[in-house]
Amino acid sequence: MYGPFPASRPSRLRRRGMPAGTELWRIDATVPSQWEWGGFPTPRHRFDPASGRFRVRYANTTMRGAARERYLDSGRFIPADHGLHRLVRLTTRRAFRVLDVRGEATLDALGVDDRISTSHDREVWEACHRLVDAATTWWTDLDGLVYRPRTAPTSSVNVAFFSLDGLRVTSRPLRRCVAELDELVLHHQFTVGFDY
């Protein structure tokens, strides 16, 4: 069903800019200054490029959403050895140029459906991998893709981004994020496996 994407950008396809000052959140085992940007030989995640030309990282527009996406598979349990992981806040310093794959017009222009955001079907994942390669040739200055989260589709947005260009970055060890962890535990049914 998901055929190849054209070499030239479909005429009806538009990108948009996330406004300067937009916050994105990520939980990562590595300090952002040590993030690698070289691609994987074989894609590992949804919008990793099939070509392996570059690395993609993923964030969410809310801290809660980032935690829900990160700990979905563990049943919202944050393991003991994640206390030193980093809660990363990324703030856009300018309009952040993205292809938003959530809208019907975009899906129609690409010849795909909403499964592009959440399905784990092999055919869909392979299309996601090809899409990011195609999109970065249609717009050589594209910063990322916006897509629907699996866990909170009405209250947050996922962003797959390609570099830290255009982003201001701060991070703290997760175990020092007392207010944020309290919010997750008290209001969002998370369990934390370490003292904080």
Q: What is the pLDDT of residues 95-111, one digit of tens each?
A: 999 999 999 999 999 99
Q: What is the pLDDT of residues 66-94, one digit of tens each?
A: 999 999 999 999 999 999 999 999 999 99
CB contact at 8 A, 169 and 90? yes
Q: State the Cα–Cα distance between residues 185 and 159, nearest whole angstrom.
A: 24
The percentage of residues in the chain with a pLDDT greater than 90, rounded to a whole number, is: 95
Task: Catalogue all structural domains in the chain, each as residue range(s) with its CATH number.
Answer: 16-190 (3.90.175)
Q: State the Cα–Cα distance between residues 22 and 31, nearest whole angstrom.
A: 21
pLDDT for residue 153 is more than 80: no
- Can you give the pLDDT at residue 1? 65
* pTM for the predicted model, two decimal places: 0.94
> What average pLDDT does this structure show over 23-50?
97
Listed in sequence order, the DSSP H helices in 16-113 are: 63-70, 104-110
Q: What is the pLDDT of residues 125-149, one digit of tens each?
A: 999 999 999 999 999 999 999 999 9
Q: 110: which 2 tokens?
A: 């690409």
- Can you give the pLDDT at residue 21? 98
